[in-house]
Amino acid sequence: MTFPPGFLWGVATGAHQTEGGNVASDWWYRENRPNSPVAERCGDAVDSYHRWPEDLDLAAGAGFTDYRFGIEWSRVEPADGHVSHAAIAHYRRIVEGARERGLRPLATLHHFTLPLWFSAAGGWLRPDAVDRFLRYVDALAPVLDAGVERVETINEPNIVAIFPKLTAAGELAHGLPEPDAATTDAMIAVHRSTVDRLRVNHPGLLVGWGVSVQDYQAEPGAEAALEAYAEPRDQVFLRASAGDDFVGVQTYTGGRLRADGTVAENPAAERTQTGWEYTPGALGGAVRRVARVARDVPIIVTENGVATADDDRRVAYTTGALESLREAMADGADVRGYFHWSLLDNWEWGHWGPTFGLVAVDRTTFARTPKPSLKWLGGLAPSRMDA
C-alpha cells in the first residue's frame, strides 16, 4: 500500500476542541449557561493553546509531513471590529513552528464556533455575514503569509447547516436531518466569497473546504432515494467546490439506505464509541462518490478516523480505510492527501468519552502519551517510503 511522492500525510486538530479557554465564542456560552444542553464542558480542553510546540513535535517526530489546525475567530476578533494582535501573533507562531519542523500547514478558518457577538446577532443568517467573515479573513494576512500552503475555509458546512436539528453526537448512525436551506445558501456564499478574496490577496494559497461525506449505499431499488438523501446533505456542497484547488472529504462511517430514505440498521455491526458503524472501507466509497459529483476538483481527505479505546482496532480501521482509498485512487480518483482525525484525544462537541486520537492526553496534567498508532501511521508517510 503505497502513495505517490508529494502526497500529503497529515494529522488534524480543531481549535475549540484542543485550545481551551475560548471564552468569547458562542460554544463557550452554550456550554456554560445554566441548564446547558451540552453534556460536558470543553473548559481547558487539552491546553493546546499553550502546548502547541509539543503537539507539533509529536506530529513531526512520528514522520507526518502535514498539519491541519484551526484558527479561532473569537480569539482573533473577540469583540465586534476589535482584532487581537496577540492572537494573530500566536497563530503566526504556530505556522512558523510547523514550517521549522518540516510540516506543511493547512489552516481551517471556521470549525463550528463563532464569536458570541456575531452569533447573538443572527450568525450566518445575518445580512452582513459575508462581509464580517471577510473582515476576519483579511485580518489573518500575517498568519497566512507566514507559510500556510492550504486553507480550508469552513469545516463541514453541511453539518453547520444541520446543527440546530442535531440532538446527539451518535445521530449520524441513523442518518442526518436535511440541512436548513437558508444556512446552506449562506455557507456557499461565504465560501465562494472567501475563495475569491484569498485568491486576490494571497494568490499562492490553495483553497477549498471540507465536507462531511459518509458512504451510504442504496439497497436494491433505492437508488433514487439515495440520490434524494445525498443531494441536500452533501452533494450540493460538493458541487459548490467547482473551481476550488481541492475539496476536503471527511468520512467516518457508512451504511445502507432503504427505498423510503431511511438508514437500514445492522444489529450485527461493530459500533464505535460514537455509535457509528465500524466501516473502514467507507472512506473509499465516499471518495468515489465525491470524485463523481465534484468531477475535476482534486480531493484531500481532511478527516478520517475512529472513536475507540482499543488502539489495535484503530490501526485495523485505518489500514482498511487506507486500502479502500488506494483502490479508489487506482480507479481514477484524484486524491492528493490524507489527514487523520485526530492527533490528540480531545473534546468531541459535548463529550469527552470518544477517543479519536493517536495521542492520549491526561485532562488534569495535560501530559501527552503517544499510542502505538502514532508511530505506525506516521511511519507510512510517502516521503519515508520513497526514501
Average pLDDT over residues 66-93: 98
Angle of helix 181-201 relative to helix 129-139, nearest 10 degrees, comes to 30
- Across the beta sheet with 254-257, the strand order is 215-218, 254-257, 263-264
Q: What b/e string do you get for 211-243 counting C-beta neighbours within 10 Å, with b at 16 or more?
A: bbbbbbebeeebeebbeebbebbbbbbbebbee
- The answer to whether residue 167 scores a pLDDT higher than 60 is no
User: Residue 164 has what pLDDT?
Assistant: 72
Quick: pLDDT tens for 114-131: 999 999 999 999 999 999
Quick: pLDDT tens for 48-61: 999 999 999 999 99
Cell of 378: 506516521
Quick: pLDDT tens for 274-301: 999 999 999 999 999 999 999 999 999 9
Burial environment of residue 362 by CB neighbours within 10 A (0 to 12, 13 to 18, 19 or more): exposed
- H helices present in 145-180, as ranges: 157-160
> Percent of the chain scored above 90 by pLDDT?
93
Confidence label for 387 from pLDDT (cuts 50, 70 and 90): very low
Quick: pLDDT tens for 215-250: 999 999 999 999 999 999 999 999 999 999 999 999
> In the chain, how long is the greatest CA-to-CA distance?
57
User: Residue 342 has what pLDDT?
Assistant: 98
User: Residue 168 has what pLDDT?
Assistant: 46
- The predicted model scores a pTM of 0.97
Gap between the Cα atoms of 199 and 187, Å rounded = 18
Gap between the Cα atoms of 169 and 347, Å rounded = 12
Contact 25, 115 (CB under 8 A): yes
Quick: pLDDT tens for 175-200: 889 999 999 999 999 999 999 999 99
User: Residue 179 has what pLDDT?
Assistant: 96
User: Residue 162 has what pLDDT?
Assistant: 95
User: Residue 173 has what pLDDT?
Assistant: 56
Cell of 308: 475507540
Gap between the Cα atoms of 19 and 22, Å rounded = 7
Domain annotation for the chain: domains and CATH numbers:
8-386 (3.20.20.80)
Residue 368 half-sphere exposure toward CB, CA atoms < 13 A: 23
- H helices present in the chain, as ranges: 15-19, 26-32, 48-62, 73-76, 85-100, 116-120, 129-139, 141-144, 157-160, 181-201, 223-230, 236-239, 282-294, 311-330, 372-378, 382-386
Grouping H, G, I as helix, E, B as strand and the rest as coil, residue 122 is coil
Average pLDDT over residues 137-143: 98
